[in-house]
Amino acid sequence: MSATETIAVESMTERQCDVLDAALRLLVEARRPLTMTAVARAASCSKETLYKWFGDRDGLLTATVQWQAAKVRGVPVGAEAASRERLAAHLTQFARDWLTVLSGPTSVALNRLAIAEAGSKTADLGAIVLHNGPFAMARRLKPALEAGRNAGLVRFEDADDAFRSFFGLVVRDVQIRLLLGDRLTLDKAAVARDAERATTQFFALYGVDEERPVTA
């Protein structure tokens, strides 16, 4: 299974989700690459079952990263977000979820392993994390940003550039500091404050002044 293939996380059984939770715990506790043997032991299941469900180690890693990323809720597109207040609220929720996941020990451990394996001819964790982490976040958020543009709420030429701006405003230096061992602590209040600030700054960059008509 390649890093770009998508596993339907929402269709997984409770038992499969338990296995992925066990894999995530192993990443944090062991701080070394996952093996099918270690996950089977930790999840109290057979390796045959893991291969049947996930195909191979990369398939298991892909599902694990997607399961972690699924904790970031999506942003509605359409009438539900067709006002500045609603779009801002949804972007803030997305940023809050994203920061919470990103700053947690599981994501830190996962990203450290991905960096350690970068450039390896046999490991594909870096590509898996990129495609199912940041790239997946972009795929989920850009339609909402484009819907906001179509509704005259924000103005930008390129959705990729707008997403990268929002990414930078949300993440700032938090991820690199955590990856390098900074004992940065983000409680719920700090995460909520940073998420609101990121959304406010995003609208300062791309928001349409309601007193002025939108021009092409």
Domain ranges for the chain, please list them: 11-57, 71-206
CA distance 189 to 195: 10
| 83 three-class SS | coil
pLDDT value for 39: 93
Query: What is the pLDDT confidence band of residue 214, given thresholds at 50, 70 and 90?
Result: very low
Tell me: pLDDT of 171 over 90. Answer: yes
| 197 three-class SS | helix
Fold classified for 11-57: Arc Repressor Mutant, subunit A (1.10.10)
Tell me: pLDDT of 14 over 60. Answer: yes
CA distance 121 to 98: 30
- Indicate the CATH number of 71-206 among 3.40.50.300, 1.10.357.10, 3.40.50.1400, 3.40.50.11890: 1.10.357.10
Tell me: pLDDT of 5 over 70. Answer: no
The model's pTM is 0.82
Tell me: pLDDT of 189 over 90. Answer: yes
pLDDT digits over 77-108, tens only? 765 567 899 999 999 999 999 999 999 988 99
End-to-end CA distance of the chain: 44
